[in-house]
Amino acid sequence: MIKNFLNFEWKQFARSSYFQKGIAIKILLALAVLYFGGIALLVGAGLFFILKKAIPETDPLILVNNFLIFWFIFDLALRFFMQQLPVMNVKPLMIVPVKRTTIINYLLGKTALSFFNFLPLFVFVPFSIVLLVQGYPVLNVVCWFFAMLFLVLSNNFINFLINKSNTYFYVLISVLAIFIGLEFLNIYKVSAPIGVAFNTLYNNPILSIIPLVLMVVLYAVNFNFIKKEFYLDDAVSKKVKEVNAIDLSWMNRFGSVAVFLKNDVKLIYRNARPRQVMMMSFLFLFYGLIFYTQETYKNMPAFLAFASIFVTGGFLLTFGQLVPSWDSEYYKMLMSQNIPYKKYLESKWYLMVVAVAVSFVLSTPYIYFGWKIYGMIAAGALFNIGLNSFITLFGGALNRVPIELNVKAKAFSNTNGFNPTQMLIALPKMVLPMLLFYVPYKFISFEAGLITLGLSGVLGIVFKGFFLNKIEQLYQKGKYKTLAAYNEK
């Protein structure tokens, strides 16, 4: 039966309209896997010697064990955003004589093949080999390695659960922030007791059974969670929900684009997925603290320009990059209306502009780092409004991955809306502002770099109509391809 499932998925992929595009993207992803996998191998092979040279008085393995907790929590947060959960159209299988347990085991088994499960192995395998070469006990090292493997897979199944509830994710992020704050502010060394636990696990090989039991328990929890909702009547029945009405009449002042703006505000207000993205975009305001507080980056102003784009561009870079996928569930209805496509795109532009403006106001405390830093944030805000917004809308024309706003259905349908094409479109959003700032900064002055970056955004605003017309033509050209792609759910 597993062989049949694999055959079904291959046929679904090969017969889809995005087959050729999918092949090209998978080649790029394979190259990315080789690149990051190679880096991980080098890190794993050299980690022992790097730590030995940096802190010769402490055993490198003890250092690694002390900070493993940060690795696993960060890995879990990264999985939440990047790891695609297993996707399978299960409704047709519900009415044929196939055991539910077989389907669920297949779905959960697919998660073990994720790149996020293999990447840690590229570090742990060479690191463990180095430990053996250095004379560490074979049994202890082997059991420690398998314990790490079980914990990586446990993270995989935890991610499967937290993707069903935003509450788990917010708790996770809060715990990570608290741990890092306590550690680096020297309030309490979180690494000490947790490091003792991992060191004890290494010193007592029999304890490696604990991570194994944890992995099995999490697998069982996921299995029961899916099985509980694996019923045809639950999949096809309509659920009546009370809609919370909000008064948006004040938006009528925006004229013909008001109807689209109201629709977007209601979409964010009523659905968990866009609401979650909006909340996470708020965290981008703190991105500057990574760069502005470090002396190293003060000598690399191009990276400060990079950070400034993120401070005010959180909503644009998260919510904006998924336009028009947010409307995929009713895109056919929108396209059948007698409305100018340009108005639809203009409403998205206004939404991003307002978000950038609000973020800029909220970034006022960065004045603490000096007027030059705040001036860079202001220039970055203008760039986001005048150019990044149009680059984002342009990327939307190439994004044909549908989004299902019902997060609860995430285990059985593609709700990620993630497309590797977005990664390619993201490059000019990051590289262009750095170039616009760095070239005049290098040959003239810091202020010249700020003015160039800010003026590029002003020019974008001046030629707004021109850019929207060109982007509209691109959307119109791919309109029916987009509609066909949104039907492939």
Mean pLDDT across the chain = 78
Confidence of residue 479 (pLDDT cuts 50, 70, 90): confident
Does residue 444 have a pLDDT over 80?
A: yes
What does the pLDDT read at residue 5?
A: 59
Indicate if 260 and 308 belong to the same structural domain: yes
Mean pLDDT lowest for which of 162-176, 224-238, 304-318, 411-425?
411-425
User: Three-state DSSP class for 1?
Assistant: coil
What does the pLDDT read at residue 116?
A: 81
Amino acid at 99: K
Mean pLDDT lowest for which of 7-16, 161-170, 304-313?
7-16
Indicate if 344 and 231 belong to the same structural domain: no
Give start and end residues of each alpha helix (H) in 367-463. Answer: 371-383, 389-396, 420-443, 446-462
Indicate if 318 and 221 belong to the same structural domain: no
What does the pLDDT read at residue 195?
A: 82
Confidence of residue 215 (pLDDT cuts 50, 70, 90): very high
pTM: 0.60
Round to whole Å and give the CA distance between 157 and 297: 38
Indicate if 277 and 131 belong to the same structural domain: no
Indicate if 257 and 150 belong to the same structural domain: no
List, in order, residues 6 or more apart from 156 with CB less than 8 Å away: 79, 83, 111, 112, 114, 116, 117
Indicate if 84 and 222 belong to the same structural domain: yes
The mean pLDDT of 467-478, rounded to a whole number, is 88
Indicate if 330 and 425 belong to the same structural domain: yes
Round to whole Å and give the CA distance between 182 and 192: 12
Confidence of residue 14 (pLDDT cuts 50, 70, 90): low
What does the pLDDT read at residue 58?
A: 84
Does residue 345 have a pLDDT over 90?
A: no
What range does the domain containing 400 cover?
A: 249-487
Indicate if 232 and 253 belong to the same structural domain: no
Angle between helix 166-184 and 272-282 (nearest 10)? 20
What does the pLDDT read at residue 231?
A: 61
Indicate if 169 and 267 belong to the same structural domain: no
Q: What percent of the chain has pLDDT over 70?
A: 77
Confidence of residue 415 (pLDDT cuts 50, 70, 90): very low
Give start and end residues of each alpha helix (H) in 384-419. Answer: 389-396
Please report whether residue 229 resides in a domain. yes
List, in order, residues 6 or more apart from 148 with CB less than 8 Å away: 68, 120, 124, 211
Round to whole Å and give the CA distance between 342 and 391: 15
Round to whole Å and give the CA distance between 249 and 262: 9
Contact 336/293 with Cβ under 8 angstroms? no
Confidence of residue 51 (pLDDT cuts 50, 70, 90): confident
Q: Answer with the one of 215, 236, 257 that is the final residue of a domain.
A: 236
Indicate if 376 and 463 belong to the same structural domain: yes
| Span 113-154, pLDDT tens digits | 777 888 888 888 999 999 999 999 999 999 999 999 999 999
The domain tally of the chain equals 2
Please report whether residue 117 resides in a domain. yes
Indicate if 301 and 227 belong to the same structural domain: no
- Cα distances (angstroms) measured from residue 188 to each of 90, 183, 358, 389: 49, 6, 36, 43
Please report whether residue 244 resides in a domain. no
Please report whether residue 243 resides in a domain. no
